[in-house]
């Protein structure tokens, strides 16, 4: 393949990351974006999810920084909160368990909390500074397939030639349809019917009422509505409530505060009640997590690659989508440097390797701990139950909590599989808790008996 011109369809986070990688390996890169792109950090019509709370995983921050050196420093200079001392700054609840994050972590890591529009803008301005990247504000009709390979795209009926086209058009990608039109198979799809609804308000809360900068209370089987609160660079809080398994979230600020009273620490819920909601509530529906299995196709045309959410979109309440996209940028770089027999096969197989562990653990959590619908492999239930035990122990064991937080942040390893040593620690910890609870119950019932009035025969 000659490397004269590459085209990227879609200039959201995925497209921007792909454009950066391509700019180092092609003479020129053209990014097509159909949406109006604001000059500064602002929400966009074509990225409706940007209005809702977005958590940037620590791994994603690292990957974005390696792609765009200086990004994190610039974000912090622009007021993006940085969490160096996580134990004081985070309240984290997952599947009905509140993790023991108040303890000192042995190996602390830094987290950054940019809003979705801010992160995209910081990245976009870097990409637009690249001398060989051009942004065209127009909608791509479709790629051009010459019977052998993709050779460009049409835009408003005009053909633009390219050696490689990247489809970064997000969840709504039409690549499966195009493949079929060109005589290829559509990819099969792995799906999980999560039935998620989001409702988000921006809120201004008076300073100094509480230390936490990230407040997450995930949903569970028993409590199918969750809440996330992130303190953003503009001094406001993003307050997102979400329902899973088609349970609707609250639809106004009063309802959100009532939910906070139920599931947040009292001092945070009380502070939220003193907050002033700004603007309107934004809503979003996310019925299905979807992984298009391009890695399983035997035949795939050269000249085009799917990227970002166009390949896999993950349950957004786990906060992983942007980080998974950042990992694909690394796969693209390595695949371009060493394409093997087929660039597409090399890239999609590498993407599969990082998607599988994260997708699978999400699916286990969704099906077993979150009441998602659909068939599941037999082993999901025992794994989910074991994980429930693990999270239960992590409530009071900081070593387990730290391990979970690091893996959840996609650091160290993408597999959420504790070592035998950690499993042993979990069992011992839960046995101790169980024994202590049994003793306390015995004491309580003895006290009740002793204080009960004597009954006469
Ligand atoms: C409610 C919600 C909450 C989320 N929360 C988190 C979170 O907490 N943490 C996290 O990491 N991730 C989160 N995500 C996921 C995250 O938003 C995505 O992973 C991320 O936006 C990357 O997407 P993308 O660039 O692949 O696609 P998108 O952001 O969907 O962008 C696709 C782009 O392609 C453009 N486009 C489409 N068709 C054309 C065309 N024909 N021509 C030109 N341009 C076109 C669109 O205008 C758009 O700009 C969340 C997602 C949702 C839905």
Give me the DSSP letters along 204-244: E--TTS---SEEEE---SS--EEEEEEE-TTSPEEEEEEES
pLDDT for residue 102 = 64
Give the Cα separation of 414 and 365 in Å (integer). Answer: 15
Ligand 1 mean position, distance from CA 316 (Å): 11
What is residue 105's predicted lDDT score, i.e. its pLDDT? 67
| C-alpha span between 394 and 388 (Å, rounded) | 10
Look up residue 118 and give its two tokens: 């801010």
303: which residues sit within 8 A by CB, 6+ positions away? 1, 143, 149, 150, 151, 162, 163, 164, 165
Contact 327, 63 (CB under 8 A): yes
d(CA 14, CA 172): 13
Q: Which residues of the chain have pLDDT under 50?
A: 456-457
C-beta of residue 198 within 8 angstroms of C-beta of residue 37:
no
Residue 428 belongs to what H/E stretch?
helix 420-451
C-beta of residue 186 within 8 angstroms of C-beta of residue 297: no
* Ligand 1 close to Cβ of residue 34 (< 6 A): yes
Which ligand 1 atom is at minimum distance from the Cα of 198?
Answer: 1
Task: Say if ligand 1 is within 6 A of residue 142 CB.
Answer: no
Q: Under a CB-based contact definition with an 8 Å cutoff, are residues 11 and 19 in contact?
A: yes
Nearest of 344, 338, 335 to residue 299 by alpha carbon = 344
Beta strands in 84-188 (DSSP E): 90-94, 97-98, 111-112, 133-136, 142-145, 150-155, 158-161, 164-167
Tens digit of pLDDT for each residue in 63-98? Answer: 999 999 999 999 999 999 998 766 668 888 988 898
pLDDT of residue 111: 87
Coil/strand/helix, residue 133: strand
CB of 136 closer than 6 A to ligand 1?
no
Instruction: Establish whether residue 55 lines the binding site of ligand 1, counting it when its CB lies within 6 angstroms of any ligand atom.
Output: yes
pLDDT for residue 455: 57
Q: Which of 409, 192, 216, 226 is nearest to 315 (CA)?
A: 192
Ligand 1 pocket mutation, candidates 30, 32, 34, 57, criterion most atoms within 8 A of CB: 34
Give the Å distances, CA to CA, from 335 to 50, 355, 369: 30, 16, 37
Report d(CA 372, CA 94) in Å as an integer. Answer: 16
pLDDT at 448: 84
Any ligand 1 atom below 6 A from CB of 225: no
pLDDT tens for residues 270-295? 999 999 999 999 999 999 999 999 99
pLDDT score of 21: 98
* Helices (H), ranges, 105-190: 116-128, 175-181
| Helix 420-451 vs helix 380-394: crossing angle, to nearest 10 | 70
pLDDT at position 457, please? 43
Q: Give the Å distance between the CA of 56 and the centre of ligand 1.
A: 14
Cα torsion 102, 429, 404, 93: sign: negative
pLDDT of residue 445: 85
Check residue 110 and give its pLDDT. Answer: 86
Helix, strand, coil distribution of the chain in percent, nearest 5: 40, 20, 35
Three-state secondary structure along 337-392? Answer: HCCCCCHHHHHHHHHHHHHHHHHHHHHHHHHHHCCCECCCCCCHHHHHHHHHHHHH
What is the C-alpha separation between 411 and 327, in angstroms, rounded?
A: 12
Q: Which residues share a beta bridge with 98?
A: 93
CA of 399 to the centre of ligand 1 (A): 35
User: Residue 7's closest CA among 17, 20, 19, 21?
Assistant: 19
Instruction: Please state, in angstroms and rounded to a whole number, the distance separating the CA atoms of residues 229 and 205.
Output: 11
195 φ/ψ sector (left φ>0, alpha ψ -120 to 50, else beta): left
Q: Is residue 316 helix, strand or coil?
A: helix
CA-60 nearest atom, ligand 1: 11
User: With a 6 A CB cut-off, is 230 part of the ligand 1 pocket?
Assistant: no
DSSP state for residue 36 in the 8-state scheme: P
CA–CA separation, 85 vs 108, rounded Å?
Answer: 7
Q: CB of 241 closer than 6 A to ligand 1?
A: no
């Amino acid at each position: 393949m000659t490397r004269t011109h590459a085209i990227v369809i879609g200039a959201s986070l995925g497209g921007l990351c792909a454009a950066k990688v391509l700019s180092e390996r092609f003479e020129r890169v053209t990014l097509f974006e159909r949406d109006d792109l604001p000059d500064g950090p602002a929400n966009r019509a074509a990225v409706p999810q940007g209005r809702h709370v977005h958590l940037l995983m620590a791994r994603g921050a690292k990957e974005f920084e390696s792609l765009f050196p200086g990004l994190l420093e610039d974000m912090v200079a622009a007021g993006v909160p940085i969490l160096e001392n996580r134990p004081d700054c985070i309240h984290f609840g997952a599947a009905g368990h509140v993790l023991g994050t108040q303890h000192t972590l042995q190996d602390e890591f830094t987290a950054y909390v940019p809003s979705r529009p801010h992160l995209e803008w910081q990245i976009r301005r870097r990409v637009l500074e690249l001398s060989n990247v051009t942004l065209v504000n127009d909608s791509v009709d479709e790629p051009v397939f010459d019977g052998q390979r993709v050779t460009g795209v049409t835009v408003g009926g005009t053909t633009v030639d390219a050696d490689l086209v990247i489809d970064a058009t997000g969840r709504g990608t039409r690549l499966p349809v195009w493949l079929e039109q060109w005589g290829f198979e559509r990819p099969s799809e792995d799906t999980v019917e999560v039935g998620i609804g989001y409702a988000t308000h921006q809120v201004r809360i008076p300073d100094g009422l509480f230390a936490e900068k990230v407040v997450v209370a995930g949903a569970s089987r028993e409590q199918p509505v969750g809440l996330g609160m992130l303190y953003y660079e503009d001094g406001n809080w993003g307050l997102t409530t979400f329902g899973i398994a088609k349970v609707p979230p609250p639809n106004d600020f009063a309802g959100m505060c009532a939910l906070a009273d139920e599931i947040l620490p009292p001092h945070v819920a009380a502070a939220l009640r003193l907050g002033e909601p700004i603007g309107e509530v934004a809503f979003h529906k996310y019925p299905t997590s979807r992984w298009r299995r391009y890695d399983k196709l035997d035949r795939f045309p050269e000249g085009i690659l799917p990227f970002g959410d166009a390949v896999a979109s993950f349950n957004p309440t786990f906060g992983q989508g942007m980080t998974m996209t950042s990992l694909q940028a690394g796969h693209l770089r390595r695949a371009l440097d060493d394409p093997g027999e087929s660039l597409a096969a090399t890239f999609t197989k590498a993407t599969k390797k990082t998607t599988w562990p994260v997708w699978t653990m999400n699916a286990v959590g969704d099906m077993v701990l979150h009441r998602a619908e659909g068939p599941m492999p037999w082993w999901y239930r025992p794994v989910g139950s074991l994980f429930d035990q693990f999270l239960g122990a992590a409530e009071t064991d900081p070593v387990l909590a730290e391990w979970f937080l690091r893996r959840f942040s996609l650091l160290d390893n993408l597999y959420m599989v504790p070592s035998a040593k950690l499993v042993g620690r979990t069992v011992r910890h839960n046995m101790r808790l169980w024994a202590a609870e049994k003793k306390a119950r015995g004491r309580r019932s003895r006290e009740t008996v002793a204080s009960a009035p004597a009954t006469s025969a």
